[in-house]
Amino acid sequence: MLVSALLTSVGINSGLCVLFFTLYSILRKQPNNYDVYIPRLLVEGTSKGRSGFNLERLIPSPGWVRAAWKLSEEELLSSSGLDAVVFMRIITFSLKVFLVAGIIGVFVLLPVNCTGDQLEDVDFADFSNNSLDVFTISNVNNGSKRLWVHFAAVYVVTIFVCYLLYYEYKYISSKRIAYFYSSKPQPHQFTILVRGIPVSAGSSISDTVETFFTEYHPSTYLSHMVVRRTNKLRSLINDAKKLYKRIIQLQSNPTQHKPRRGSCFGLFGHKVDLVDQYEKKLEDIEENVRLEQSEISLAGEEVPAAFVSFKSQYGAAIAFHLQQSINPTQWVTEQAPEPLDVYWPFFSSSFMRRWISKLVIVVACILLTILFLIPVVIVQGLTNLTQLEGWLPFLKSILSTTFVSQIITGYLPSLILMLFLRLVPPVMELLSSIQGYISHSNIEKSACNKVLWFTIWNIFFATVFSGSVLSQVSIFLDPKNIPAKLAVSVPAQASFFIAYVVTSGWTSVSTEVFRLVPLFCSLISRPFTGSKDDDLQVPSIPYHRDIPRLLFFGLLGITYFFLAPLILPFLLGYFCLGYIIYRNQFINVYAPKYETAGKFWPIVHNSTIFSLVLMHAIAVGIFTLKKLSLASTLIFPLPVLTLLFNEYCRKRFLPIFIAYSAECLIKKDRDDQNDPAMAEFFDELVTAYQDPALMPIHYSGNLESLNTPLISSASV
Amino acid sequence: MLVSALLTSVGINSGLCVLFFTLYSILRKQPNNYDVYIPRLLVEGTSKGRSGFNLERLIPSPGWVRAAWKLSEEELLSSSGLDAVVFMRIITFSLKVFLVAGIIGVFVLLPVNCTGDQLEDVDFADFSNNSLDVFTISNVNNGSKRLWVHFAAVYVVTIFVCYLLYYEYKYISSKRIAYFYSSKPQPHQFTILVRGIPVSAGSSISDTVETFFTEYHPSTYLSHMVVRRTNKLRSLINDAKKLYKRIIQLQSNPTQHKPRRGSCFGLFGHKVDLVDQYEKKLEDIEENVRLEQSEISLAGEEVPAAFVSFKSQYGAAIAFHLQQSINPTQWVTEQAPEPLDVYWPFFSSSFMRRWISKLVIVVACILLTILFLIPVVIVQGLTNLTQLEGWLPFLKSILSTTFVSQIITGYLPSLILMLFLRLVPPVMELLSSIQGYISHSNIEKSACNKVLWFTIWNIFFATVFSGSVLSQVSIFLDPKNIPAKLAVSVPAQASFFIAYVVTSGWTSVSTEVFRLVPLFCSLISRPFTGSKDDDLQVPSIPYHRDIPRLLFFGLLGITYFFLAPLILPFLLGYFCLGYIIYRNQFINVYAPKYETAGKFWPIVHNSTIFSLVLMHAIAVGIFTLKKLSLASTLIFPLPVLTLLFNEYCRKRFLPIFIAYSAECLIKKDRDDQNDPAMAEFFDELVTAYQDPALMPIHYSGNLESLNTPLISSASV
The rounded distance, in Å, linking the Cα atoms of B700 and B43 is 13
3-class SS string, B287-303: HHHHHHHHHHHHHHCEE
Task: Say if B684 falls within a structural domain.
Answer: no
Model confidence at B130, pLDDT cuts 50, 70, 90, reads: low
Angle at B209 between CA B203 and CA B214, to 5 degrees: 115
Chain A residues in contact with B324 (beta carbon < 8 A): 661-663
Model confidence at B714, pLDDT cuts 50, 70, 90, reads: very low
Question: Chain B contact for A652, CB < 8 A?
Answer: yes
The rounded distance, in Å, linking the Cα atoms of B65 and B74 is 18
Q: State pLDDT tens for residues B574-597.
A: 999 999 999 999 988 898 888 888
Task: Say if A250 falls within a structural domain.
Answer: no
Checking if the pLDDT of A382 tops 70, the result is no
Question: How much of chain A exceeds pLDDT 90, in percent?
Answer: 30
* Cα atoms found within 13 Å of the Cα of residue B617, Cβ hemisphere only: 18
Angle at B342 between CA B696 and CA B305, to 5 degrees: 90
Model confidence at B154, pLDDT cuts 50, 70, 90, reads: very high
- Of the residues B663, B664, B670, the best mutation for testing chain A's interface (the one with the most A CB atoms within 10 Å of its CB) is B663
Q: State pLDDT tens for residues A561-619.
A: 988 898 999 999 999 999 999 999 998 889 888 888 899 999 999 999 999 999 999 99
Residue A260: per-residue pLDDT: 46
Angle at A499 between CA A496 and CA A504, to 5 degrees: 115
Checking if the pLDDT of A480 tops 90, the result is no
B158 and B299, same domain (yes or no): no
The rounded distance, in Å, linking the Cα atoms of B645 and B649 is 6
Amino acid found at A45: G
The rounded distance, in Å, linking the Cα atoms of A20 and A515 is 10
Nearest Cα of chain A lies from the Cα of B322 at a distance, in angstroms, of 6
Task: Say if B80 falls within a structural domain.
Answer: yes
Beta strands A332-335 and A191-195: pairing type? antiparallel
The rounded distance, in Å, linking the Cα atoms of B303 and A94 is 42
Q: Which residues pair with A225 in a beta bridge?
A: A307
Chain B residues in contact with A669 (beta carbon < 8 A): none
Question: Chain A contact for B664, CB < 8 A?
Answer: yes
Domain count, chain A: 1
Residue A506: per-residue pLDDT: 87
Mean pLDDT of chain B: 81
Pairwise CB contact (< 8 Å): A324 & B651: no
The rounded distance, in Å, linking the Cα atoms of B448 and A213 is 40
3-class SS string, A578-610: HHHHHHHHHHHCCCCCCCCCCCCHHHHHHHHHH
Among A250-254, A268-272, B16-20, B236-240, the range scoring the smallest mean pLDDT is A268-272
Eight-class DSSP state of B197? P
Q: State pLDDT tens for residues A637-669.
A: 999 999 999 999 999 999 999 999 999 999 999
Pairwise CB contact (< 8 Å): B656 & A216: no
Task: Say if A520 falls within a structural domain.
Answer: yes
B109 and B169, same domain (yes or no): yes
Pairwise CB contact (< 8 Å): A318 & B323: no
The rounded distance, in Å, linking the Cα atoms of B666 and A326 is 12
Checking if the pLDDT of B469 tops 80, the result is no
Task: List CB contacts of A504: < 8 A, sequence separation 6 or more.
Answer: A414, A415, A417, A418
Checking if the pLDDT of B139 tops 50, the result is yes
B377 and B340, same domain (yes or no): no
B358 and B346, same domain (yes or no): no
Chain B residues in contact with A479 (beta carbon < 8 A): 477
- Give how far Cα A14 sits from Cα of A95, A316, A502, B61, Å: 20, 54, 9, 98
Pairwise CB contact (< 8 Å): A318 & B322: yes
- Domain around A592: 3-184+354-468+480-675
Among A455-459, A697-701, B288-292, B491-495, the range scoring the smallest mean pLDDT is A697-701
Q: State pLDDT tens for residues B29-44.
A: 888 778 788 888 877 7
Question: Chain A contact for B321, CB < 8 A?
Answer: yes
A160 contacts A642 by C-beta, under 8 angstroms: no
Question: Chain B contact for A664, CB < 8 A?
Answer: yes
Instruction: Give the helix ranges, DSSP H, for A384-481.
Output: 385-391, 396-399, 402-410, 412-422, 424-434, 440-455, 462-466, 472-476
Pairwise CB contact (< 8 Å): B655 & A177: no
Question: Chain B contact for A328, CB < 8 A?
Answer: yes
Nearest to B649 by CA among B321, B168, B177, B98: B168
* ipTM score of complex: 0.82
DSSP assignment of B478-511 = -GGGHHHHHHHHHHHTHHHHHHHIIIIIIHHHHH
Q: State pLDDT tens for residues B669-701.
A: 999 888 888 889 998 898 888 887 777 776 654
Which is more confidently placed, A127 or B599? B599
Which is more confidently placed, B620 or A280? B620
Nearest Cα of chain B lies from the Cα of A500 at a distance, in angstroms, of 34
Eight-class DSSP state of A421? H
Question: Chain A contact for B216, CB < 8 A?
Answer: yes
B337 and B452, same domain (yes or no): no
The rounded distance, in Å, linking the Cα atoms of A194 and A333 is 5
Residue A705: per-residue pLDDT: 36
Task: Say if B687 falls within a structural domain.
Answer: no
B347 and B411, same domain (yes or no): no
Which is more confidently placed, A232 or A195? A195
A331 contacts B655 by C-beta, under 8 angstroms: no
B212 and B128, same domain (yes or no): no
Checking if the pLDDT of B428 tops 80, the result is yes
B282 and B382, same domain (yes or no): no
A613 contacts A158 by C-beta, under 8 angstroms: no
- Backbone φ, ψ for residue A590 (5° rounding): -85, 140
What's the Rg (C-alpha) of chain A? Answer: 29
B131 and B58, same domain (yes or no): yes
Q: State pLDDT tens for residues A149-192.
A: 999 999 999 999 999 999 999 999 999 999 999 988 889 999 99
Question: Chain B contact for A363, CB < 8 A?
Answer: no
Question: Chain B contact for A321, CB < 8 A?
Answer: yes
Question: Chain A contact for B335, CB < 8 A?
Answer: no
B98 contacts B571 by C-beta, under 8 angstroms: yes
B293 contacts B694 by C-beta, under 8 angstroms: yes
Residue A714: per-residue pLDDT: 33
Checking if the pLDDT of B408 tops 80, the result is no
The rounded distance, in Å, linking the Cα atoms of B378 and B171 is 44
A190 contacts A318 by C-beta, under 8 angstroms: no
B656 and B709, same domain (yes or no): no
Checking if the pLDDT of A319 tops 90, the result is yes
Pairwise CB contact (< 8 Å): B662 & A322: yes
Model confidence at A550, pLDDT cuts 50, 70, 90, reads: very high
The number of C-beta contacts closer than 8 angstroms across A and B is 91
Cβ atoms within 10 A of the Cβ of A586, count? 24
DSSP assignment of B402-425 = HHHHHHHHHTHHHHHHHHHHHTHH
Model confidence at A129, pLDDT cuts 50, 70, 90, reads: very low
pLDDT (mean) for B283-302: 73
Model confidence at A709, pLDDT cuts 50, 70, 90, reads: very low
The rounded distance, in Å, linking the Cα atoms of B596 and B83 is 7
Which is more confidently placed, A178 or A410? A178
Eight-class DSSP state of B131? B
Q: Which residues pair with A309 in a beta bridge?
A: A191, A223
B644 and B622, same domain (yes or no): yes
- Backbone φ, ψ for residue B593 (5° rounding): -95, -25
Look at residue A162 and give its three-state secondary structure: helix
B192 and B112, same domain (yes or no): no
Residue A52: per-residue pLDDT: 56
